[in-house]
Amino acid sequence: MQQTEVPYRNGFDYGMGVELARADPKARGVIGEVSAVEGASGGGGSFKLQRVETTEELETHLGISAEASGGVGLFSASARFNFARDCKVRSTSLVLLITATEQFGFEQIDEPKLGPEAGPLVADGNSALFAERYGDSFVRGIEKGGQFFGVLRIDTRSDESRQQVNTELEGSYGAFSADLSVNLSVVARKHEAGIDALAYWEGGRVTVEIRSPEDLIAAADQWRDSVQGLPRPYRVTLAPYVIASGPPPPNAAELEHQRDVLMRCAKLRSQTIDALNLLDYMCDREHSAEFESGSGVDLAGLQRGVARDLDVIASAAAFALNHPKDACEPETFARTLMSPADPGYERTALPENLPKQIGGQPIVFVTVPDLIGRALWDDLRSDQEPYVEMRANFDWEVIDGVVGTPEQGAYGIVYAQKPPPGVDVPKGSKLSTTVYTE
């Protein structure tokens, strides 16, 4: 095994042992002076915007794909993996990823040595007990700073409109710019597209409630301004014990086989998640009218089959973690080792004649009114215009704010709103107004 870089997990520390398959921290197996690597501090970096087309591609940028992680902890609980699933990447959507990394220092153990309790186990040839206590690698280096990941999923209503949106946004890819929100607003209305925004970050602090592209940009700015004062470990370097005069792992061939199976399971899981995201979208009553009818494809049956595939993959991976020697791919596991076994099991394949996305009922866009300075508290219950219209157009929420002053206005005067005035949003979008209290 070579050194590999993986996302930080709770419990990782310099010299801490790690069981690679599960990414589980063990006892500290290595000691040595920790020092900064010359030229690896100082921070810096810029936001980047790019398109991703598959869950596996998103996982690669998050550092948790089979290749990016070197197979470490692929089926262990992970906040980054949960974020990737929540993004719901699918072929009917355009998914844009905002990434940023701020590095403020990398430190490592320059001359690692086995600890006082680990060394005697090696001298006695007790490699099995060594592996149980200290795993098969150790944390050699830690990077501190932070990372920010933001996702904009643009749901278009046809293949044609998706290509048009991509073409019109291509000029925004690359260096991240706040102008993106303006471009998105124009393009979304032009092509009747909906936009969802999500974010995940390590280090820094974000208090913005993210519900729109504007919120995501505000969150990115807030993270960038706060991360230097609130850095945290976000990536570690794992090294084999052999560089510290430690033993190779027992049953190395079995563990290598286990890792190969887990990496295969991880790839299949990513592909299956994409298929399930697509079928869930096609079967959703809110979107089913966007797809052509009469294809004869049993979408609900495919949905059940793909969901079962995901369960089988997870079960095969769990079996591989506990039985390295007998680890096998999901289809073999289902046919021979699963309880009860399914001798005829085959993974569900999506047919070539899936219904095409051809559009549906158009999305109705409304322009957010300027409510700053207006008295809305009592008018929420008014049956006069424009309040009836606003209640019909928006999911309207009024929030009590701070106590006002005579200069600011009386009770119920609006002093903040989200989204801002003039933005075009789909009818029914959330509109929050914050008013002065008595």
pLDDT in tens, 247-261: 888 888 999 999 999
Residues whose CB is less than 8 angstroms from the CB of residue 198 and which lie 6 or more positions away in sequence, other chains included: 83, 86, 87, 150, 151, 153, 210, 216
Q: Tell whether omega for the bond before 247 is within 30 degrees of 0, i.e. cis.
A: no
The answer to whether residue 286 is domain-embedded is yes
Helix axes 252-283, 55-62, angle to 10 degrees: 130
Report the pLDDT averaged over residues 59-79. Answer: 94
- For residues 69 and 173, the model is more confident at 69
Per the prediction, the chain carries an average pLDDT of: 89
Of 161-170, 261-270, 297-306, 341-350, where does mean pLDDT reach its minimum?
A: 161-170
Range of the domain at 57: 4-156+166-244
pLDDT, tens digit, for every residue of 276-321?
A: 999 999 999 888 888 988 778 999 999 999 999 999 999 999 999 9
Q: Which of 125-134, 206-215, 407-416 has the highest mean pLDDT?
A: 125-134
Instruction: Assess whether pLDDT exceeds 70 at residue 101.
Output: yes
Q: Tell whether omega for the bond before 343 is within 30 degrees of 0, i.e. cis.
A: no
The answer to whether residue 283 is domain-embedded is yes
Report the pLDDT averaged over residues 39-47. Answer: 58
The pLDDT-based confidence of 438 (bands split at 50, 70, 90) is low
Residues 282 and 371 in one domain: no
Longest CA span, the chain? 87
Rg of the chain's alpha carbons, rounded to an integer? 26
Residue 180: the pLDDT is 77
Last residue of a domain, one of 289, 317, 337: 337
Residues 231 and 271 in one domain: no
pTM of the model: 0.84
Residues 121 and 256 in one domain: no
Residue 280: the pLDDT is 96
Q: How many domains does the chain have?
A: 3
Residues 283 and 240 in one domain: no
Residues 65 and 138 in one domain: yes
Of 29-38, 46-55, 352-361, 372-381, where does mean pLDDT reach its minimum?
A: 372-381
Of 108-112, 208-212, 374-378, where does mean pLDDT reach its minimum?
A: 374-378
The pLDDT-based confidence of 350 (bands split at 50, 70, 90) is very high
Residue 40: the pLDDT is 56
The answer to whether residue 360 is domain-embedded is no
Report the pLDDT averaged over residues 200-228. Answer: 92
Residue 241: the pLDDT is 95
The answer to whether residue 412 is domain-embedded is yes
The answer to whether residue 411 is domain-embedded is yes
Of 33-37, 130-134, 242-246, 292-296, where does mean pLDDT reach its minimum?
A: 292-296
Residues 385 and 325 in one domain: no
Residues 233 and 260 in one domain: no
Instruction: Assess whether pLDDT exceeds 70 at residue 406.
Output: no
Residue 310: the pLDDT is 98
Instruction: Assess whether pLDDT exceeds 90 at residue 45.
Output: no
Residues 219 and 314 in one domain: no
pLDDT, tens digit, for every residue of 10-22?
A: 999 999 999 999 9
The answer to whether residue 343 is domain-embedded is no
Dihedral class, residue 303 (left if φ above 0, else alpha if ψ from -120 to 50, else beta) = alpha
Residues 325 and 390 in one domain: no
Report the pLDDT averaged over residues 92-110. Answer: 93
Q: What is the CATH number of the domain that holds 374?
A: 3.30.10.20
**Of 55, 52, 62, whose CA–CA distance to 94 is shortest?**
52
Residues 234 and 266 in one domain: no
Residues 267 and 221 in one domain: no
Distance between CA atoms of 389 and 419, rounded to whole angstroms?
17
The answer to whether residue 355 is domain-embedded is no
The pLDDT-based confidence of 65 (bands split at 50, 70, 90) is very high
Residue 197: the pLDDT is 93
Instruction: Assess whether pLDDT exceeds 80 at residue 385.
Output: no
Distance between CA atoms of 225 and 43, rounded to whole angstroms?
13
Residues 79 and 197 in one domain: yes
Q: Calculate the alpha carbon distances from 406 to 69, 236, 297, 411, 437 in Å.
A: 59, 55, 66, 10, 12
Last residue of a domain, one of 244, 271, 301: 244
Instruction: Assess whether pLDDT exceeds 90 at residue 95.
Output: yes
Last residue of a domain, one of 244, 265, 291: 244
Q: Tell whether omega for the bond before 386 is within 30 degrees of 0, i.e. cis.
A: yes
The answer to whether residue 212 is domain-embedded is yes
